[in-house]
Structure 1
Amino acid sequence: MVVVTPSEMRKIDQRAIEQFGIPGIVLMENAALKVVEVIEKVYSLKERDRVVVLAGMGNNGGDGLAVARHIFLKGVNVKVFLLAREEAVSGDARVNLDIVKKLGVPLSFVRDESDVAKLEGSLKSVTLVLDAIFGTGLSRPVEGIFAEVIQLVNRMLVPVVSVDIPSGVNGADGRVMGTAIKAMNTVTFGYPKRGHLLYPGRKYTGKLHVVPIGLPPDSAQAVGAQGFTLSEDEAAAMLRERPAEGHKGTFGRVAVVAGSTGMTGAACLAAMAALRSGAGLVTLGIPTSLNDILENKLTEVMTRPLEDHGTGCLQEEALDDVLDLVRDADVLAIGPGLGKSGAVFEVLRNILGRIDISIVLDADGLNHISRDISLLSKHAGPVVITPHPGEMARLTGLNVAQIVESPVEVAQRFSQETGVVVLLKGATTVVCHPDGRVYFNTTGNSGMATAGSGDVLTGIIAGFIAQGYEPFDAAVLGAFVHGYAGDLAADAHGQAGMVAGDILEAVPLALKKMYNLLAEHCKSWSHRI
């Protein structure tokens, strides 16, 4: 599913109006009818119910006025509170305001404190509030009477449906512009906006309903939108067929270089995740003094001792063994738990200059490469990096707050400057390709904020690359599966007590469910032919 920015959505609307001759009032009416459909489906309003509509002066307010009309004509008790001077309402919104007035829909204006008090009285016995104050284009802080009304609605704890986006949320990046409506449901038009998917906007959005309003089918492509997210169906459709005659070589060979004293768990999780995601063979390169531990811990993963001089940490002399390890591999996952020794940097620096297979770089691998990020551009093969905000800060020289505030922009810029695929981990993980594509991941939960979770993700991505997925697709699908497995683990164990091993154990179940879904769709498609 395509994800757009507010700017792209404005161009889409403008194109529909100017090039295709679809009047703006028609788009507004289509939007209103779809909002009414969602309200009826979710709330099944009766005549005795009471609905308050909060409308601003712009097109978002016009949508709200049109919704109010349709609800009123169904016999439901509805009252409109307009947060604007009447003369300030124009265009298509004015058309709907005039209709509401002629129909006799109860209408009040909110201009001062006394009007806010009247609104509070109406909210005390309300069934539903429709929020249509601000749309996705909001870019200034919410202040004055608008802030008072939004804070009042939030204090009243009444069910809220937001039109297009909760008022106060920035549609471009999900920031709260001072204060914002906390909606239970949000109905957006045509495509989800970035602000719906990025936190904190995602928290304020509630359940997101994406509805069609009669836009030309090529709208997103025509304006060059490159953002996307995946439904479960769409993610399942990305899965590659596993041929019945396949053998372990068919499903790829993964080399993992990971671990140091005290960090053997990271190595185990990454290596097992590569197997659990479907790779045929996985070999773990581990410091020699830790090899016996890993051979006891891992049954299905092969191990390769690497020179450590008894320190429990990789040494420069391990380089030749690492190069030998990756000679027959399809992908190298390197970094989890490797430690801070300067020797690790030297091994990493020489690897990037001497092999051409795909590399998935994570954790300590990223911390070391931050000393010289030019090495990323010198690697002959594809590179996927999977930083969390702290690691991204070290790579870019920015602080963590800057990364968290603008994750898409930071990840996109770094991807384009270095030519690598960037998976920036977070509550909404984003995956950026050097060509500008950006994926917004919506699976997962806070139970995954636990040590070792990222190591599992590294192994999943490497496992997918070994099976023949393009590195960007592997990162996108890896993020989805990782989060989906986390959701299944949370269902089984609860979020508070989850550990990374729970996510690892749920990966095969997540893939099973997705392959079953794909099979169902294939069966459905064959019946249509």
Structure 2
Amino acid sequence: MYVVTPKQMRRIDQRAIEEFGIPGIVLMENAALRVVETIYRLYSLSQRDRVVILAGSGNNGGDGLAVARHLFFDGVRVEIILLARPERIAGDARVNLDIARRVGIPVHCVIGDDDIPLAEQRLSQATLIIDAIFGTGLSKPVEGIFARVIELVNRTEVPVIAVDIPSGINGEDGHVMGVAIRADDTVTFGYPKRGHLLYPGREYTGGLHVVKIGLPSDSAEAIGTEGFTLDREEAAARIKGRSRIGHKGEFGKVAVVAGSAGMTGAAALTAEAALRSGAGLVTLGIPASLNCILENKLTEVMTRPLPDNGTGYLHENCLDEILAMVENMDVLAIGPGLGRKKTISEILRNIFGRINISIVLDADGLNGISGNIDLLSQHTKPVVITPHVGEMARLTGLTIAEILDSPVRVSQEFSREHGVIVLLKGATTVVCEPGGRIYFNTTGNSGMATAGSGDVLTGIISGLIAQGYHAYDAAVLGAFLHGHAGNLAAALRGEAGMTAGDILASLPTALKELYELAEKHL
């Protein structure tokens, strides 16, 4: 499913109206009908219920006015709080305001502080509130009467459905523009907007319902939309089939270089996740003095002891061993738990450009190249980096706050500048590639903020690359699978008590579900 910006959505609407001759009021009517259908799917409204529509002066308000009419005609008690002078309502919204008045829907104008008591009274008596104040194009802070009414709504315990986007949320980046409606559900039109998926907008959006309003099916492609997200069916469509007569070499070979004293778990999680994601063979390079630990812990993973001079950390003379280890491998995952020794930077400097396979770089591998970023562009095969915001700050020289403020822009710019695939981990993980595509991952939960979770992700991506997935597709599908496995683990263990091992244990089930869905659609 494509994900659009507000500007792109305006172009889509404009194209439908100007190129295809679809009147704007038809799109508004379709939008209103889809909102009403969603309301009835979520709530069992009766004549005892009272629905309050909050309407602004623009097209979003017009959508809300049309929603009011349909509910009113169905016998629902409806009233409108209009946050504008009636004479300022124009175009299609004006048509719907005039109809609402003619059919007898109560309209209360709230335009100044003296009107606040009226708004508070009507909102307190509501059983459902429909937010249609601002749409996705909001670009300035919410102030004055609008802010006061939004604060009133947020203080009630009445369910709220937002039309297109919660009022006060920036549709481009999900920022709160001063104050914003906290919706229980949001009905958006055509495509999800970035602001629905990026935090804090995602939290304010509640349940997101994407509905069709009669736009041409090629709308997103026609304007060159680069953003997308996946649901389970879409993820399943990306799954590669497995040969019934395939051997382990055919399903891919993963080399992992990971672990150090006190960090053997990172190595184990990465290696086993690569196997659990479908790779046929995984070889783990580990500091030699720790090898017995991993041999005891991992039954199915092959190990290769690497020189460490008895310290538990890779020694600089291990390079030849690593180069020999990756011969005939399909991908190298390097970094988890290696430690922050200067030796790691030197090893990485000598690996990049000297091996002819894809690299997945994470954790201490990212720290190891932070002083020599140009290494990334020297590699001739795809490179996937999987930083969290702290690691991204070290790579870019930006502050964590700057990255959190613009995760998409920062990831895009880094990807294009260095020619790598960037998977920036977060509550909404973003995956960017040099060609411009942006994936917004919505699977996962707060229980995945636990030690070792990122190591599992690195292993999943590596395992998928080994099986022949393009590196970007592996990063996208890997993020989805990682989050889906995390959701399964949370359902079993609860978010507070789950561990990275629980995510790993749920990975085969997550993968099995996608394979079964894929087979249904063959």
Q: TM-score range by the shorter chain?
A: over 0.9
Instruction: Supply the distance in 1 between the matched residues of 2:47 and 2:32 (Cα, whole angstroms).
Output: 19
String of CA shifts for 1:406-434, please: whole Å, max 9, x gaps: 11110011001111000000000010011
TM alignment of 1:375-414, pairs within 5 A: 375-414=375-414
Distance 2:64 2:379 in 1: 54
- Post-superposition CA distance 1:50-94 (Å, at most 9, x none): 100000000000000011111111111100000011121111111
| Structure-2 separation of matches of 1:490 and 1:416 | 36
TM-score (norm 2): 0.99
SS in 1 for 2:521: helix
Query: 1:115 offset after TM fit, Å?
Result: 1.4
Q: Shift of residue 124 of structure 1? A: 2.0
SS in structure 2 at match of 1:282 = strand
Q: Which residue of 1 aligns with 2:174?
A: 174
Tell me, yes or no, if structure 1 residue 516 matches structure 2 residue 516: yes
Q: TM-score normalized by structure 1?
A: 0.98
Mapped to 1, the partners of 2:241 and 2:494 lie a distance apart of 32
Q: Which residue of 2 aligns with 1:308?
A: 308
Corresponding position: 1:92 with 2:92 = yes
Give the distance between the partners of 1:302 and 1:491, measured in 2 at CA. Answer: 32
Question: CA shift at 1:520, angstroms?
Answer: 2.2
Q: Which moved more, 1:462-471 or 1:305-314?
A: 305-314
Q: State the match for 2:276 in structure 1.
A: 276
Superposition pairs of residues 396-475 of structure 1, within 5 angstroms: 396-475=396-475
What do the CA deviations read for 1:176-217 (whole angstroms, capped 9, x no partner)?
111111111110000000001111111111111100111111
Q: How far apart are 1:328 and its partner, in Å?
A: 1.3
Matches within 5 A, 1:231-242: 231-242=231-242
Which deviations, in whole Å up to 9, do the C-alpha atoms of 1:336-358 show, x marking residues without a partner?
Answer: 01111111111111100201200
CA shift, 1:41, in A, is 1.3
What residue in structure 1 maps to residue 138 of structure 2? 138
Q: Deviations over 1:227-266 (max 9, x none)?
A: 0000100001111101110111110000000011111110
Where does 1:333-372 land on structure 2 (aligned, <5 Å)?
A: 333-372=333-372
Letter in 1 for 2:65: L
1:297 Cα shift?
Answer: 1.2
SS at match of 2:353: helix
| SS of 2:376 mapped into structure 1 | helix
Q: CA deviation at 1:494?
A: 0.3
Which residue of structure 2 lines up, in the alignment, with residue 526 of structure 1?
none
Alpha-carbon separation, structure 2, partners of 1:268 and 1:64: 54
> Counterparts of 1:148-163 in structure 2 under 5 Å?
148-163=148-163
Q: Percent identity?
A: 70
Q: How many residues align?
A: 522
Distance 1:509 1:75 in 2: 47
**Match of residue 194 from structure 1:** 194
Task: Output the CA distance in 2 between the equivalents of 1:308 and 1:350.
Answer: 17
The amino acid that maps onto 1:276 is R
The residue type equivalent to 2:387 in the other structure is P
- 1:144-191: per-residue Cα shift (whole Å, max 9, x none)? 111110110010111011000000111001111111111111100000
Q: Give the aligned residue type for 1:194.
A: R
- Which residue of structure 2 aligns with residue 36 of structure 1? 36
Deviation of 1:116 (Å):
1.6
After TM superposition, list the pairs within 5 Å mapping 1:294-305 onto structure 2.
294-305=294-305
1:288 alignment counterpart = 288
Q: Secondary structure at the match of 1:515?
A: helix
Query: Structure 2: which 5+ residue stretches go unaligned?
Result: none
Separation of aligned partners in 1, 2:246 and 2:323: 27
* Structure 1 portions without partners, runs of 5+: 523-529
The reply on whether 1:329 has 2:333 as its aligned counterpart is: no
Q: Matches of 2:311 and 2:205 in 1, distance apart?
A: 51
Structure 2 residue 208 is the aligned partner of structure 1 residue 217: no
Name the amino acid aligned to 2:80. Answer: V
Distance 2:42 2:380 in 1: 53
Which whole-Å CA distance do the structure 2 matches of 1:418 and 1:91 have between them?
Answer: 48
Q: Residue by residue, what CA displacement relative to the aligned partner does 1:3-55 show, whole Å, maximum 9, x if unpaired? A: 00000000000111111111111111110111111111111322221100000
Alignment of 1:15-34 (within 5 A): 15-34=15-34
**Amino acid paired to 1:60:** N
Range that drifts further, 306-315 or 128-137: 306-315
For 1:55 and 1:356, the matched residues in 2 are separated by: 59
Shift of 1:454: 0.1
Report deviation, 1:120.
1.2
Q: What is aligned with 1:499?
A: 499
1:328-386 deviation per Cα after TM superposition (whole angstroms, max 9, x unaligned) = 11000000011111111111111002012000000000011111111000001110000
Question: 1:269 is matched by which residue type in structure 2?
Answer: L
In structure 2, how many angstroms separate the alpha carbons of the residues matched to 1:348 and 1:368? 7
Secondary structure of the 1:80 match is strand
Task: Give 1:463 deviation, angstroms.
Answer: 0.2
The alpha carbon displacement at 1:114 in A equals 2.9
CA apart distance, 1:299: 0.8
Superimposed CA distance per residue, residues 272-306 of structure 1 (whole angstroms, 9 cap, x where no aligned partner):
00001010000000011111111111111010011
**1:440 partner SS:** strand
Whole-angstrom CA distance in 1 between matches of 2:340 and 2:160: 50
